[in-house]
Amino acid sequence: METGARYTKLLEIAHETSSERRRELLHEVTDLFFESHATSTPAEQHMFGDLIGKVAFDLNNEVRKELSARFIGGQAPRNLALALADDVLEVAAPILQHTKSLTDEDLVKIVQNKGTHYQIAVSKRDEVSEVLSDALVTHGNDDVLTHLLRNEGAQISEITYDKVVTRAEANPDLHGPMVARKAIPPEVLNQLYSMVSGPMRKEILERNQNLSPEEVEAAMARARTKIGVQTGALPADFEAAQARLTELSAQGELDPGQLPNIWRSDDTTLFALAFAQIVGVDYFAISKLINSADVDGMAMLCRAKNFPRALFVSIAALTIGNNGMEDAAKLGHLYNEVPVEAAQRALRFMQIRTATAKAA
């Protein structure tokens, strides 16, 4: 239908006074919207939504319920979708669960401001983003969480899973949906082991058996990092520094000569990680050296990897702080006094301890 004919139909419904005829015209205009959706402009779609909404809200709930159901699986005008989503539950639920017209921002506001049944409808959407899942967990009760956990199309972030685990500690009704969830990360699943009953423990162990070695290692790494941050063993910026280290490695920009520049950028966590990767020991070993300003230990590691003396002096001076450069000559002599072979043997022992710690 051409644009002129669309406007004629819209004007007809606007001027009609008979409720029955307005209802018939409402169906016709809705059909017209579907027919012209692919070619209509955003302004025309908004006009459709505005007019359909005005007519529908002049009629009874049953009419709006029919209207809401017609948009299941389709694109409703956003302004109309927002109006229907704020209506009584039987009108709002199909829109909240199915329409693709509402943005995450729209849905988060609805979750924040509406009740449990509206939140449950949102939790059943085919796709639920991490942001929306977090809003549902934050503002919803445990019934909402149960529906969200049963939705395998819902994306749930690590931070949101932490909130869910905390809730599960107080409510055993959440244990079943969590253990049954296919998309739950292994490290989160294993956090539940001490909480759940015998049959669910058996299921957790069976799922552990089905993990590949790579999946187990990745899960263990995430768990170690998470536990370290939570207990204070690792700094809060550890994960961000790890990501940056991966970028530097991929770009071929990680070499010993960059270590002083990394330190001067005031990123000591990245410095410790980079130093640890270059020499082949764990982060904690380097962190301990830095915190205690152990230049002897640093000299041994740098010597074992054949760092130039000037590079060691720079690293050691930065570690010592304000008086470091005044001791540059002394640091240079210290470095030369470390036998290379002895340093390499000591490094190999440290690397064995690192490998053992990783295996554990």
Cα→Cα distances 328→124, 310, 319, Å: 65, 9, 12
Q: What is the DSSP string of 322-346?
A: TTTGGGHHHHHHHHHTS-HHHHHHH
* Residue 344, token pair as written in the block: 């390499």
Contact 52, 78 (CB under 8 A): no
List per-block mean pLDDT (blocks of 10 residues) for the chain, which spans 360 residues.
54 61 68 66 71 68 81 79 91 92 94 96 96 96 97 94 93 95 89 81 81 80 69 81 90 90 91 94 87 83 92 89 67 84 77 64
* Residue 23, token pair as written in the block: 């209802």
Helix (H) or strand (E) holding 55: helix 42-56
Contact 25, 12 (CB under 8 A): yes
Residue where the block lists tokens 């205690």? 292
DSSP secondary structure code for residue 295 in this structure: H
Of the candidates 47, 114, 137, the one whose C-alpha atom is nearest the C-alpha of residue 95 is 114
Q: What is the DSSP string of 244-277?
A: HHHHHHHTT---GGGHHHHHHTT-HHHHHHHHHH
Rg over alpha carbons for the chain, rounded to the nearest Å, is: 31
CB neighbours of 321 closer than 8 A, spacing ≥ 6? 293
158-176 tens-digit pLDDT: 889 999 999 999 999 999 9
Of the candidates 265, 255, 312, the one whose C-alpha atom is nearest the C-alpha of residue 289 is 312
pLDDT at 172: 93
pLDDT at 50: 73
The dihedral sign for the CA sequence 4, 6, 7, 11: positive
Backbone angles phi, psi at 7, to 5 degrees: -65, -35
Q: What is the dihedral of CA 347, 351, 353, 358, to 10 degrees?
A: 160
d(C-alpha 21, C-alpha 237), whole Å:
65
d(C-alpha 60, C-alpha 23), whole Å:
10
Question: Which residues is 128 bridged to in the sheet?
Answer: 154
pLDDT at 11: 61
pLDDT at 79: 86
Taking CA 314 as the corner, what is the angle to CA 308 and CA 316, rounded to the nearest 5 degrees? 100
267-323 tens-digit pLDDT: 899 999 999 999 998 888 899 889 888 887 888 889 989 999 999 999 988 888 766
pLDDT at 325: 59
d(C-alpha 194, C-alpha 101), whole Å:
43
CB neighbours of 239 closer than 8 A, spacing ≥ 6? 225, 229
pLDDT at 17: 59
pLDDT at 35: 65
